[in-house]
Structure 1
């Protein structure tokens, strides 16, 4: 862990063993920055500072929601910051603060193994660099906390800035007709939307925490505006995220409308093709009927002629005087009869 004595003259680095002695210094206050997974965290919080067991438990475990608890000697504030992950996932980086009248303890909560531990300390390192360079001076733990939380809201804004760039790029792809594979494009749309929703949720919940903190009695004189400023910062990020989310929703709806129009057009073309094939099949069926009808008409006389054309010695009516006219009449009658039957059925 990193131990500092913050004075008007600047910043002094000390060993962890000097924490108890530094608390008795009247020329400044103690800032202890505890990285994630530090084995001495529980001893620091429970023994050296004597915090409530529930407060120690909150600092050691992962908290899925921001929270604020006011104790007689300090205020515990738990916040989250975003860290982009693989396939659009947003990691929640936890920052816990114990804000007392003569100390500030920042504890970086458990970090996902997929996240660089240095990312969790981004805000505190940024503030530390400003203090060491003289670009920032603070006179109380609450002022230092205000600077750290301001750095956290800048992280939210930077994430929102990148998400906005993605929204604009996706909107240009939609309006330009260069969306590529629909499934991949829709997946990218919803990844960006997920990021905006994550930032919006962080800002909204953190803003509610600082709104409640600003209403607490017992804040040092002149420090309530600092807490209110942090609340306003979170509210601004939430409004920006809402605006970009609505803009992206418009892009999604526009793209959905294009997909619907394309699907309707394709369905209409397919319906026309099916209708054309149906009409062709119907016409082909009618032609088959006609061909079959004429084939049957000509088959009947051919059958009679074939039977009477056989040269057997013993055949009925072979020597009958009217046999030939009868055969011709039978051929004509069978053909005419079949023609009438098929005509009645509208096959001809």
Structure 2
């Protein structure tokens, strides 16, 4: 902690000179019409040495207080802001227009981008939702809902933009406010907490998907299941969820590696160690998702093989019965040609003999097919 105070005392005069000249206390802020606080703001506060020093403020008031004091940072939380609502904040904090556009429209891949003095991170959030079955004999469907969290990280501010109805950051803010030692390390502590929250959500979804995969695997390979009950639909549904999972997890590996391995002025050296732990958890999730995909491919191929085997069984039975029925069809066809001179036409036992002969041949053929497993 003493090291942090020495560091702050060393950079504080330079920061004050760069941010607020003595002649004009507010000269560091962009010259613009003071905007009304956007309705998308969930919370906006100033933190000094890990402690919250203010209640809910307007963004320009929070930034002014931080730069007048020359220490601490402000954390602004937004939920699904419009382009107009984010424009004033973007101008106030000097956010790049491309990053602002991504934050407004969402639907971005997980990534890390550097814009001059600002880091821009995109995280995909996931939530496992269990739907009710449509009938008593139908399986419960599962769905993985996605959302996004964008994080702008500067020297004295952090702005979080959340899209989606889950992964609220209010509880995370309260947890961080209780951990003053970690929050005192600056905006990068908030960035790490958000990344850790997102990856912990991945672990929760992974556990739920593991149960679904095990359930489908048991259903396909169970000896007492109905072989004609279709399972391909459930398998395809799980594969879609796993694919959505991969789109959120795999692209995030590279950004977390950069945050954990490359020194950056936006990331406190001690916080960088925490990013390594998050990256390790993400690697574990990535391995599990890859194993889910491979296992579902194997289960799907096994299920298709079972379906193909059942179809072959049906075809063999149909072919066997067709061969058996071919005997009486052939014999009756011959006698149906109405020729005058045909064998045994005038014999009184001719008809019973032909019928018995047909029955005997059919029974012998049925016995042979049954012995060979065709019936």
Scaled by the length of structure 1, the TM-score of the pair is 0.73
Secondary structure at the residue paired with 1:23?
helix
Is residue 2:49 matched to residue 1:14?
no
Kindly state the Cα deviation for residue 10 of structure 1 after the two structures are TM-superposed: 3.3
Give the number of aligned pairs: 287
Alignment counterpart, residue 80 of structure 1, candidates 124, 131, 140: 124
Pair member with larger Rg: 1
> In the alignment, does 2:102 pair up with 1:52?
no
Per-residue CA shift, 1:274-321, capped at 9, x if unaligned?
2122222112213334x643489999xxxxxxxxxxxxxxxxxxxxxx
Question: How many Å separate the matches in 2 of 1:28 and 1:63?
Answer: 32
The corresponding residue for 1:293 is 340
Matched residue, 2:162 = 108
- The answer to whether 1:263 aligns with 2:311 is yes
The 1:102/1:241 distance shift into structure 2, 3 A limit, reads same
Whether the 8 Å CA contact 2:50–2:179 is kept in 1: the answer is no
Partner of 2:254: 208
Q: Which residue of 2 aligns with 1:166?
A: 212
* Alignment partners' CA distance in 2, 1:165 and 1:14: 43
- Contact in 1 for aligned 2:127/2:146 (Cα 8 Å): yes
When the two chains are superposed, the root-mean-square deviation of aligned CA atoms in Å is 2.9
Q: For the Cα contact (< 8 Å) 1:78–1:94, is it kept in 2?
A: yes
User: Where does 1:98-247 land on structure 2 (aligned, <5 Å)?
Assistant: 98-109=152-163, 111=164, 117=165, 119=166, 121-122=167-168, 124-134=169-179, 137-139=182-184, 140-176=186-222, 177-178=224-225, 182-183=229-230, 185-214=231-260, 216-219=262-265, 220-247=268-295
Matched with 1:35 is: 79
Q: Give, in whole Å, the separation in 2 of the partners of 1:180 and 1:268.
A: 17
Whether the 8 Å contact between 2:151 and 2:161 is mirrored in structure 1 is: yes
In structure 1, C-alpha distance between the alignment counterparts of 2:264 and 2:210, rounded to whole Å: 40
CA 181–273 in structure 1, closer or farther in 2 if over 3 Å, else same: closer
Deviation at 1:108, TM superposition (A): 1.4
- Does the aligned pair in 2 maintain the 1:173–1:179 contact within 8 Å? no
- 1:14-36 CA-to-partner distances (Å, cap 9, x unmatched) read 22253222322455321111111
CA distance in 2, matches of 1:88, 1:263: 30
Q: Partners in 2 of 1:201 and 1:179 — Cα distance?
A: 35
Q: CA distance change for structure 1 residues 137 and 268 in 2, over 3 Å: closer, same or farther?
A: same
Gapped runs of 5+ residues in structure 2? 1-40, 132-140, 347-375
Aligned residue in 1 for 2:321: 273
Which 4+ stretches in 1 moved above 6 angstroms? 295-299
Q: Does the residue aligned with 1:3 lie in a helix, a strand or coil? A: strand
Query: TM-score scaled by structure 2?
Result: 0.68
Q: What are the superposed Cα offsets for residues 31-64 of structure 1, whole Å, 9 maximum, x if unpaired?
A: 111111365322112x210212222222112233
Map Cα deviations across residues 311-342 of structure 1 (whole Å, 9 max, x no partner).
xxxxxxxxxxxxxxxxxxxxxxxxxxxxxxxx
Q: Aligned partners of 1:172 and 1:163: how far apart in 2? A: 14
2:330 equivalent to 1:282 = yes
Q: Contact conserved, 2:111 with 2:121, CA < 8 A, in 1? A: yes
